[in-house]
Each structure stands twice: as structure tokens, then as C-alpha cells.
């Protein structure tokens, strides 16, 4: 019988520092209705499949948004434009904003599911929750994309090394 492979003990702070090296788009995930609306800022959003358009979003189950995701089973991924840092901060809870208060200072509309979509976002993916995978402290949400709104004339807001960033410079090549 093979002996088990020794695995180093990786601490949370080292892991978080390592993950901050990944530059990523900043999204606000909206969920709920009317005064029962809430949401969170996320950089853990990824496409899953184009065959059945779907995305993956990770959410901490200790967050105030998790019960709303379970209740409503739909959410909207709002990928932020470079001038929407204030929206990211609001949905991250800066200034003590909670629940529906996070929607102040931005303009919202709805696509197909009735979940709030951010006007002037880089792109909006309106989703119905298909699957939840629980892994330690987080839930991995798989959402079936029901509607999309995209703008191509703006730049994204990025998060890298613990801060918000914007693109600078021109595209030199495309794959």
C-alpha cells in the first residue's frame, strides 16, 4: 500500500495573499426583492459552460446574503465598469450599509427574473440558481443564465493585490 503524500499546512493568510496576485473582474451579486434585497461584492465569478450558459459564483454561507440566495433561488451578476467602485464598496459593506441600503447611489432595473440589474454595468447576467455545492465555509452557486445585457464601450473595474484597479494602455494583441 502506498504511503500518504505529505501535504504542507497552508495558512489562511498565506492563501489570501497568494489569491490577491490574481487580477480579477469585480462583480456585485444582487439577490432578493424590494426591502428584502441584499447582495455582495465578488471576485469569485467564472463562466462554467457556453453549451448551457451558466456561471459559478462563490458566497460565504456566514454572509447576510446567503439566506436570500437560498430563499429566492435567483441572482444577478453585475460586472462593474471602471467608474463603479462606489457600488463595489457599498456591496462590500463599507459605511455599514446592509441589505437594501446597498442599492443606494446607483440605478437599477430588472431583466427576466426580477432581480435587480445595475444600469451601466459592463455586463449583467441574470441567473436562476440550478445547483449549490457546499465546501467548507462557502457555497458554490451554479446559475443558469436567463438574460444578458452587455456594454462594449467601457472598461472593467479590476481587483488586484487588495485594491481596485483600472486597465491602462491599449490592447497589443488578441488571441
Residues 20/161, Cβ–Cβ less than 8 Å:
yes
Considering only CA atoms, which of 29, 129, 135, 8 is closest in space to residue 76? 29
CA separation for the pair 32, 67 (Å, rounded): 10
d(CA 151, CA 148): 10
Q: Is the separation of the CB atoms in 37 and 78 below 8 Å?
A: no
- Residue 172 is predicted with a pLDDT of 52
Residue 20's pLDDT is 84
Give residue 122's Cα distance to chain centre: 13
| CA atoms within 13 A of residue 159's CA, in its CB half-sphere | 20
Of 120, 29, 124, 116, nearest to 82 (Cα)?
Answer: 120
Phi, psi of 6 (to 5 degrees): -70, 130
What is the sign of the dihedral through the CA atoms of 86, 88, 93 and 97? positive
Which domains occur in the chain, in start order?
Answer: 24-160 (2.30.110.10)
Q: Return the ∠ at Cα 21 (arms to 17 and 25), rounded to 5°.
A: 120
Tens-of-pLDDT digits for all 175 residues of the chain? 565 666 778 888 888 888 888 889 999 999 999 999 999 999 999 999 999 999 999 999 999 999 999 999 999 999 999 999 999 999 999 999 999 999 999 999 999 999 999 999 999 999 999 999 999 999 999 999 999 999 998 999 999 988 999 887 655 555 5
Mapped onto helix, strand or coil, the DSSP state of residue 99 is: helix
Amino acid at each position: 500500500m502506498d504511503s500518504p503524500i505529505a501535504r504542507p499546512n497552508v495558512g489562511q493568510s498565506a492563501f489570501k495573499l497568494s489569491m490577491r496576485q490574481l487580477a480579477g473582474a469585480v462583480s456585485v451579486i444582487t439577490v432578493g426583492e424590494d426591502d428584502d434585497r441584499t447582495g455582495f461584492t465578488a471576485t469569485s465569478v467564472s463562466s462554467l459552460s457556453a453549451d448551457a450558459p451558466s456561471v459559478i459564483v462563490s458566497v460565504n454561507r456566514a454572509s447576510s446574503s446567503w439566506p436570500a440566495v437560498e430563499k429566492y433561488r435567483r441572482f444577478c451578476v453585475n460586472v462593474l465598469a471602471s467608474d463603479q467602485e462606489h457600488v463595489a464598496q457599498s456591496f462590500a459593506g463599507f459605511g455599514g450599509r446592509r441589505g437594501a441600503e446597498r442599492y443606494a447611489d446607483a440605478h437599477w432595473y430588472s431583466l427576466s427574473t426580477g432581480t435587480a440589474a445595475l444600469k451601466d454595468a459592463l455586463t449583467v447576467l441574470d441567473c436562476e440558481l440550478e445547483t449549490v455545492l457546499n465546501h467548507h465555509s462557502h457555497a458554490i452557486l451554479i446559475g443558469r443564465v436567463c438574460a444578458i445585457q452587455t456594454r462594449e464601450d467601457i472598461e472593467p473595474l479590476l481587483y488586484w493585490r487588495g485594491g481596485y484597479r483600472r486597465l491602462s494602455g491599449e490592447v497589443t494583441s488578441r488571441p
